[in-house]
Structure 1
């Protein structure tokens, strides 16, 4: 298994679907030299998702083959779809970056925490049930999909205390600023304060 170096950090965004985890993760990453590692999934892309940008969308057959070749660090089944993270993608991201981020379900977040210990920081992003439903409707998820997500809402919310940090996403710019400050606190940078 890859040995994460001291200054290398893996930030994992988790929380209910529709909480804005991905949007926040992308916003925060722009303030830092942060590389994302995408999951592989067998589920079809939603109308606003792009292959290679949101996920690696693969067939069941491809996923199975990768699984047999033990390419995945962790893989989970959710509602009949499979998701997996490849270790070589994490290793690749660390080649040019000290900071890596992923958006994972709680199970995946915990598995990576067990593997990489203190180098993994789990950030739980949430919003109340009504807000989450409204956001999913705004991005035009179909009703079946929304019901499927909401059936996991309480179970995912119960995971909040396991994470190192939690943010209620009520205002994107505000919360992305708070998360940026948090990430800053993990970086032991030597700032030179200059007087103007």
Structure 2
């Protein structure tokens, strides 16, 4: 039986927009999405678990994987390296699994070039003031890093036209509802439904 290839949902946002919280809630919403777990040289933050949040590797290991062509995309963000496994992504989508990829704009652009049918979703904070407050209250970064993240946010937001959907995360519950609507709508598109229900369509149209 030929399986319908899975959807690839790319979610990007500036730091502090609430992307990680939205992704966590979306994965628990019962929509049967698999999270693509990136490799990174960044040290784990409090509460993060290797293999669940990221594959934490040292710089030597990361560069060896990069040299071997194991990443479909890679980027350096705030001095740390990030990469997405091409082998895992291809296998998961071929098996029909819908994938959720949480990634920055630089990586999203690389992914979209290789997977032109991927669905790009950009999360916006409701204001600059809210963004700054969220970054400060996380207490995970020093003031210099927070300043760099605010500057980077402006640059990332300049890329929103490259995405298919934009969600303003003013309220987590409402933003989550919007995300769920996007996932369901993409799954119901004509091309995907015809592929998924090809036998039914053939029977009803003959």
Q: Distance in 2 between matches of 1:97 and 1:172?
A: 29
Tell me how far 1:7 sits from its aligned partner.
Answer: 4.2
Residue in 2 aligned with 1:57? Answer: 56
Instruction: Report SS of the residue matched to 1:170.
Output: coil
Residue in 1 aligned with 2:178? Answer: 178
1:21-60 map, 5 Å: 21-31=19-29, 32-60=31-59
Q: Distance in 1 between matches of 2:81 and 2:53?
A: 15
Query: What is the CA deviation profile of residues 112-146 of structure 1, one whole-angstrom value per residue up to 9, with x for unaligned ones?
Result: 1111112x001000102221221222221222331
Instruction: Report SS of the residue matched to 1:152.
Output: helix
Tell me how far 1:102 sits from its aligned partner.
Answer: 0.8
Mind listing any 5+ residue stretches in structure 2 that lack a counterpart? 197-206
Residue in 2 aligned with 1:82? Answer: 81
Tell me how far 1:96 sits from its aligned partner.
Answer: 5.7
Normalized against structure 2, the TM-score is what? Answer: 0.82
Tell me how far 1:38 sits from its aligned partner.
Answer: 1.2
Asked whether the equivalents of residues 76 and 84 of structure 1 are also in contact (C-alpha less than 8 Å), the reply is yes
1:155-174 map, 5 Å: 155-174=155-174
Q: Distance in 1 between matches of 2:123 and 2:158?
A: 12
CA distance 1:109–1:6, shift in 2 (3 Å): farther
Q: Distance in 2 between matches of 1:60 and 1:99?
A: 30
The RMSD of aligned alpha carbons is: 1.9
Number of residue pairs aligned between Structure 1 and Structure 2 = 185
* Structure having the higher Rg: 2
Residue in 2 aligned with 1:11? Answer: 9
Residue in 1 aligned with 2:72? Answer: 73
Tell me how far 1:6 sits from its aligned partner.
Answer: 5.0
Q: Distance in 1 between matches of 2:96 and 2:49?
A: 23
Q: Does 1:144 align with 2:125?
A: no
Instruction: Report SS of the residue matched to 2:108.
Output: helix
Q: Distance in 2 between matches of 1:94 and 1:116?
A: 11
Q: Distance in 2 between matches of 1:165 and 1:12?
A: 10
Normalized against structure 1, the TM-score is what? Answer: 0.86
Mind listing any 5+ residue stretches in structure 1 that lack a counterpart? 191-196
Give the counterpart of 2:119 among 118, 121, 129. 121
